[in-house]
Structures are given as structure tokens and as C-alpha cells.
Structure 1
Amino acid sequence: MALITKNFDNAEALTQSFAKELIAILSDGIAKRGRASLVVSGGRTPLALFKKLSEADVQWDQVDITLADERWVDESHDASNTALVKENLIQNKAKAAHFIPLKTDDADANDGLNEVQSRLANIVQPFDALILGMGEDGHTASLFPCSEQIEEGLNMSSGMICVAVTPKTAPHQRISLTLPALLNSRNIFLHLTGESKKAVLTEALDGATEVQKPVTAVINRAPVTLMWAP
């Protein structure tokens, strides 16, 4: 287990430091490999970070951005992570970035898996940076402990980049990067705010199985930097 913890006094200080670190990672990736890749998560926690990054001086036309997971809803739906990223990150200077959505026109996420895997195959990998969140149940990306697909999503030898997930405790079918796809990242961050989330993480790391608290599956296998503020 390799969890590096960076605590900040408040969310604004976290955002400032995190944005600076990501800018350096993306710029280094472009300098060394000609392109860089950034995988982000949805939700309210990263919104300030997205807005800060959107104004950064990065060669955004050389950056590929995609999601760790997506709800299987149209972009017009208020639960769409794609819409959230486009409205908050793919703006200002970052509008030049190449965004790769995980949602297809298929009615069922299972029917869109092949197309999504083809899209993701064109992104520079390992990903330069992956930003994960975590739910109160210990899920990360859309690897939900309550879902029948959790073992498939955590399978390190499936060869699959993504998996269709139907959570029992959350709305909407999802598509999620699998554990091996998430681990295929040069820099992995866990972005959390609030005492309750930190308590969930502490509990998860204190003996929970990977199926019970899927966030531990990532931390057990790769260096992860926790970016946390109250």
C-alpha cells in the first residue's frame, strides 16, 4: 500500500496546489512524449479545480482529456459527467484540448463498450494523470461494491479497459474504466474534501476487502496521492 497524503487548510489552498502540480505533469508529458493525457472524475469536488485548470497556460491542443467513469445518460441530462467537464474544464484556454467522451448513442452501456474501448485506445497511455473521487460506500470511478459487475471491474487479467455497471444503491447505468485501466497511469490522485470522506477512507484502509471498498484496490497496487482539505 502506498498512500501519500497531502493535507490542506482549505479547499482553495488544495485547488491552487493541485492545479500547479497537474500543469507541471501535463507540460512534462508534452515535452517528453509530444502529447499528454488527463483522466478526470465528475461530481462537485473537482469543479473549482476544473475552472482553475481551464485558465492555465498549457499546450492544451496537445492534451487528451477523458473520464474515469460516466453515467449512461444523454449529455443534456443534469447527471452527465461529460456536460460537467465541458462546462467547467473544456473552457477558456483549455477549450483547445481533445475531449474523449465515454457515452455512445447505444441504449445500453454494454452495447457501447467496444466503441468506447476503441476511442480510449487512441489516447496516450499510460495516462499522465488520473484524478479519482470516492463515494461514501468506498466506490471509486463507477466500481460500486453493490454492483454485480464489481469483480469484473476489479479483474486484473480481463484485458478490458472499461466495464458496464448497474449500481444497486445509485441511479443510472454507468460505464467505468476497469481497475487495470485506472492503474495504467503515471500519476494517480485521490481528490477528497470533508471529514466524512476522510473517515470513509480510513475505515476502508483498515482491513476492508477490495470488493467491500473498491478504492482500496487502487491504493493496494500503485502509489496514490491523497489531496484532502476539510
Structure 2
Amino acid sequence: MQLNQFADTAALNTDFAKRLVAILQQAINERGAAYLVVSGGKTPQALFTALSQVDLAWDKVTVLLADDRWLDDTQSDSNERLVKAVLLQNNAKAAKFISLYADTASAFDGVAQVLQRIAALPTFDAVILGMGEDGHTASLFPCSEQIQAGLAADAPAVLAVKPTTAPYERMSLSLPRLLDSRHLFLHLVGANKLAVLNKAMAEQDVPAMPIRAFLHHPVAQVAVMYTEHQG
């Protein structure tokens, strides 16, 4: 784990956007395509706006979410709605987007459809994770019955999750699918998130705080992009 601390969110987002653009450009140069996994919520919105304006061959970039609530993109709590409204604008409108949603009543009924879209994707170029106060990341919730399945070394690329401490069923990339990336980032804002990070680093119980699976991984390196201050 590498902790990168910034004076404020503006400084963090400027640096983060430069890093991501360099990664995506290298992927396009070397392989003709780039794959970026993002997370929803309030934290990355300014970063998304900055990225959307970057001069890049966005038509060669594929974007998908680390997880999403089982809602269609007309619903305000949909991460897909957020990504389309903020990231996939301006220059980034040309990027391809892969949805984690299917038109089924339950996320559990939609797994097969979503898995078809994800299963054949190559190694991601960058994955941007978030972290909840309980140490969950993506929709790998410690409170869910599905946590062991999502953390398993042989887990499929995606799984449906029903958290008991958060609303909505979810569709989430699994631990092994998220780890299959050239670069892993954890994007955190606020002193409370640093406290959670320190707790996660201090102990090894992964199901209790799933973010530990990334932070303590023997091979994967996580770059933590952190600032205490908004603005």
C-alpha cells in the first residue's frame, strides 16, 4: 500500500487525472485499447469531470463500474446514471460503457446476463476503488451472505449481493476480477476515511473489512489517493 496525501481535493484530482491519463494512453499505445473501472458516490465526481475534458482517444477506452445498485439508469441512486452524467461527457462521450444492470426483477436473476458482458474482458488497466465506513469496497459488504463467495479465489467475475446494512440489491465485480488490473487505486476523502484505512491496515480479518483483501495482498500494490480536506 502506498499512501499519497494531498492538500485538498483539487490537488488530489489534478494529480490523479494525470496518472490515469498516462495509464490509459500507455494502454492505447501498447494494446490499442484501455479498460478503466470506476466507483460511484460523491467522492469521484470532480475527478470524473476533470477526466471527461482530457484530450484522449476515448473511443478506444472502455469504462465500467466496480459495482452498482440494482436500479436502471433513470434512478437517482444508480451509479450508472452518475457515470453517464458526469464522466461520459465532453471528450469522454466517445468511450464505450459496459453496464452492470439487466432488466430483471432481482440482481440474482441478472447475473448470467451481466457475466456475459464481463467474462471475456482482458486485464483492466486501472481500477478505482472506494471504501465505506465498514471497510466494504465495491459491493463486497461484510454484512452480506455473499461476502465469502465474492472474496473466493475462484469467484466468477461478477456476483449479486444483498447487503443487510445498505439499501438495494447490488451487482459487484468479485475480488479476483478487481485484482486483475495493472493499477489499483483507493480514492479517499476525509479524516474519517483515514481512520478506517488505519483500522484496515492494523488487522488481517478480511471478511470483517473486505478492503483488507487489497491492502494486504501479497502481490497487488494499491495506491491510496487521500486528502483530509474538501475544496
TM-score, normalised relative to structure 2: 0.96
Distance 1:220 1:33 in 2: 30
1:214 aligns with 210
Among candidates 153, 158, 164, match of residue 156 of structure 1: 153
> 1:122 Cα deviation (Å)?
4.5
1:180 aligns with 176
TM-score, normalised relative to structure 1: 0.97
Among candidates 97, 102, 105, match of residue 104 of structure 1: 102
> 1:157 Cα deviation (Å)?
1.8
Among candidates 139, 143, 149, match of residue 142 of structure 1: 139
> Which consecutive unaligned segments of at least 5 residues does structure 1 have?
none
Q: Indicate if the aligned counterparts of 2:201 and 2:216 stay in contact, CA closer than 8 A.
A: no
Distance 1:151 1:219 in 2: 17
> In structure 1, what residue type is equivalent to 2:177?
A
Q: Work out the number of aligned pairs and report it.
A: 226
Among candidates 142, 159, 165, match of residue 161 of structure 2: 165
2:129 aligns with 132
> 1:121 Cα deviation (Å)?
3.1
Task: Specify the SS of the correspondent of 2:127.
Answer: strand
- Segments of 4+ in structure 1 off by > 2 A? none
Distance 2:203 2:62 in 1: 36
> In structure 2, what residue type is equivalent to 1:90?
L
Distance 1:53 1:73 in 2: 25
> Which consecutive unaligned segments of at least 5 residues does structure 2 have?
none
> 1:107 Cα deviation (Å)?
0.8
Q: Deviations over 1:133-192 (max 9, x none)?
A: 00000000000000010000000123x001110000000000100000000000000000
Distance 1:218 1:21 in 2: 20
The within-5 A match list for 1:182-197 is 182-197=178-193
> In structure 2, what residue type is equivalent to 1:117?
L
> In structure 1, what residue type is equivalent to 2:71?
V
> 1:207 Cα deviation (Å)?
1.0
Q: CA RMSD in A?
A: 0.8
Task: Specify the SS of the correspondent of 2:168.
Answer: coil
